[in-house]
Amino acid sequence: MPRFDLTALALILAASTGPLAAQPSRLTPADLFQLEVGADPQISPDGQWVVYVRQWSDVLTDRRYSNLWLAKADGSEHRPLTSGKFTESTPRWSPDGRRLAYVSNKDGAAQIYARWMDTGTTHAITNLTEPPSSLEWAPDGSRIAFFKRVPEPPLVVGQLLTPPPGGTWAPVPKYTDKLVFRYDQLGELPPGYVHAFVVSADGGTASQVTSGNYHHGGLVTGGGSLAWSADGTELIMPARRGENPEWNARETELWSFSVAAGAAKQLSRRFGPDQSPAVSPDGRQIAYVGYDDRKQGYQNTLLYLMNRDGSGARPVSGKLDRSVGNPTWSADGRGIYVQYDDQGNTKVALFQMDGTWKDQVRNLGGGSSAYGGGSYSVARDGSIAYTLSTPKVPSEIAVLRSAAAQPRVLTALNADVLASRTLGEVEELWWPSSKDQRRIHGWIIKPPGFDPSRKYPLILEIHGGPFANYGDRFDDEKQLMAAAGYLVLYTNPRGSTSYGEEFGNLIHHAYPGDDFHDLNSGVDAVIAKGYVDERNLFVTGGSGGGVLTAWMIGNTPRFKAALAFYPVINWESFSLTADMAPSSVNNWFPGFPWDHQENYDKRSLLSVVKNVKTPTLVMTGEEDWRTPMSESEQYYKALKMRGVDAVLVRVPEEPHGIRRRPSHAASKLTTLYGWFEKYRSQVP
């Protein structure tokens, strides 16, 4: 499988300009086309094999693709199962380990495929018009359950005229009566609801299990998670079947559905999210995660247990002041594995029924950013396959045989690229916030060839969310900033997850706010080390990091230039236009803007724009429905009308994050280099 065309790549590298052109041993934006990511590792039931998703980019088509690869758990026999410029995902072993199901669009529309592992014979077992997701094998291996949307006719009010024969008219108007009718990454949501289906593992017509005008699976737009009962007669899943599900965006309940008749039974009954059901090996209990929603900005997601009939629900992970997810039963039914973030590091722990736990794995990471994430799976013998990431290692596939053993890394997906590139060293640090002396956690990436006797420009890079965390994980964007000669400080100010519920909720109804002091104190802490050029301080961040970028320059003039990626600027307009508007009003604010105008106004970035003197560039995707382009345009025009040097960059076809196309991901860095270099004072 060719990952890139060498001639085309050479042309890109030859065209590189700016601070990296004379530094061939450092990462360049063009390297983003070469970096690969291992994802969704699935270990076979007997613990002998691992299949995973290998994500890569193509420089000629400027698109991202993914294929399936296989390796023995000892790292041998590493080879592709599929290849080509397709999107393949969700590999799932049959219970006996003899077959593998997955989703592929190699024949056009996405379908479920089954592969016999002994012969390699593969065939499509569905013929769907809507893409499937969340594959789950029945316990006896005879069927596969999945989610897909069931389309409905589009809404029309009145009787539309039709063009005469041979006439060409404009597209018809778009009608909606939905609160959420666009969603980031998905665009315009087609009419219909997501339901659960079951298909024979040998192929055939899929039968619909759920019904009604509800989304199933737990996600706002449908899909998510489901599980089979131990006897294969029912499906258990979260569903949005309560009152006003669009408005109560966090509310889901667990339901069971008869596979044969579709009869529904509600299992959980509380206001809050109940997600990720996992049925015990003996079929008598269901593990799941969730919380009683107190309408706070952040709450810990806990591990719960209930009896199979929905009775006896109780929390298991309450002694751990962290959010947990992805519950998986041990084969003996005596423990439950979960994934959680702890001070910027993602771990897998094994919980006992009495609420005690023991960490099994650390350094999970997904993708190529410092955000928390990653995934894992567990074999019957307790072996764990997972995505591993450290500050110098992008997402690779690893296996841990026991908690006392050392993990074995099965892949080296980027060894070819990184062997000829020098990465920046990463240093962990803590400092007291000037607000209240709370300890704040962060990391510095130093430029390759760092010399502590020299002075370097500093970039403060702020995470989004805001309820998220950075950590000791590989981050291509920050490494590229360091490769350009900058110190990069990234940190977890108040409101960040992985430090407990109290710390995460310090910004409840108060964001942005005191996080300024945490971030500003971090800049002071790095300056105190003696190698920062105080004349050259810069600030950037995306989404919530874009919010705090605008907040920083609205509260201090110390930064030479700023770059706000896809920010929220006006909380009132955001809460009435964004795809997550219901959560904003319900959880991030005390209520509607017209009832709480003072709270909205004091947190608006327009409230401090009058203070801004810092040259500022704003960059947002034109298909961003999470922080819509109108937010960026408001800020840009406010800056321009005040006479502040400002530039607005609109990126075609891009949703939130600006990473759909590799060239656009690279343009984030080239734009940052150009903007900061324009204002960077040269060291004499």
Across 73-110, the runs of DSSP E, i.e. the strands, are 79-80, 88-93, 99-104
Cβ atoms < 10 Å from Cβ of 382: 18
Look at residue 1 in the predicted model and tell me its pLDDT.
35
pLDDT at 90 over 90: yes
Structure tokens given for 83: 């290849």
pLDDT digits (tens, 9 = 90+) for 300-359: 999 999 999 999 999 999 999 999 999 999 999 999 999 999 999 999 999 999 999 999
Q: Which residue has the tokens 């008869």?
A: 258
Residue environment code for 285-312, b if the CB has 16+ CB neighbours within 10 A, otherwise e: bbbbbbbebeeebbbbbbbbbbebebee
Distance CA 190, CA 181 (A): 8
Look at residue 23 in the predicted model and tell me its pLDDT.
45
Helix extents (H) in 200-277: none
Distance CA 333, CA 284 (A): 10
Q: Which residue has the tokens 């989610």?
A: 147
Helix extents (H) in 556-652: 571-577, 581-583, 597-603, 629-641
Q: Which residue has the tokens 């050029």?
A: 533
- Cα 677 to the chain's mean position, in Å? 30
Look at residue 19 in the predicted model and tell me its pLDDT.
47
Distance CA 51, CA 71 (A): 7
Distance CA 648, CA 70 (A): 45
pLDDT digits (tens, 9 = 90+) for 508-538: 999 999 999 999 999 999 999 999 999 999 9
Distance CA 302, CA 321 (A): 9
The candidate with the shortest Cα–Cα distance to 137, out of 109, 104, 103, 99, is 99
Q: Which residues pair with 65 in a beta bridge?
A: 56
Look at residue 683 in the predicted model and tell me its pLDDT.
57
pLDDT at 57 over 70: yes
Q: Which residue has the tokens 């667990």?
A: 254
Q: Which of the four pLDDT bands, split at 50, 70 and 90, describes residue 8?
A: very low
477: left (phi over 0), alpha (psi -120 to 50) or beta: alpha
pLDDT digits (tens, 9 = 90+) for 211-258: 999 999 999 999 999 999 999 999 999 999 998 999 999 999 999 999
Strands 561-565 and 532-542: parallel
pLDDT at 66 over 90: yes
Look at residue 402 in the predicted model and tell me its pLDDT.
80
Q: Which of the four pLDDT bands, split at 50, 70 and 90, describes residue 17?
A: very low
Could you tell me the domains of the chain?
Answer: 422-569+604-678 (3.40.50.1820)
pLDDT digits (tens, 9 = 90+) for 666-684: 999 999 999 999 999 875 4
Sequence-distant (≥ 6) Cβ neighbours of residue 130 within 8 angstroms: 148, 149, 150, 151
Across the range 145-150, mean pLDDT stands at: 98
Distance CA 459, CA 81 (A): 42
pLDDT at 9 over 70: no
Look at residue 682 in the predicted model and tell me its pLDDT.
73
Look at residue 247 in the predicted model and tell me its pLDDT.
94
pLDDT at 610 over 70: yes
Averaged confidence pLDDT in the chain: 94
Across the range 167-196, mean pLDDT stands at: 95
Across the range 494-500, mean pLDDT stands at: 97
pTM over 0.85, yes/no? yes
Q: What is the CA radius of gyration of the chain?
A: 25
pLDDT digits (tens, 9 = 90+) for 249-294: 999 999 999 999 999 999 999 999 999 999 999 999 999 999 999 9
pLDDT digits (tens, 9 = 90+) for 153-165: 999 999 999 999 9
Cβ atoms < 10 Å from Cβ of 590: 15
pLDDT at 118 over 60: yes
Minimum mean pLDDT among 400-404, 501-505, 533-537, 589-593: which range?
400-404
pLDDT digits (tens, 9 = 90+) for 439-467: 999 999 999 999 999 999 999 999 999 99
Distance CA 165, CA 569 (A): 49
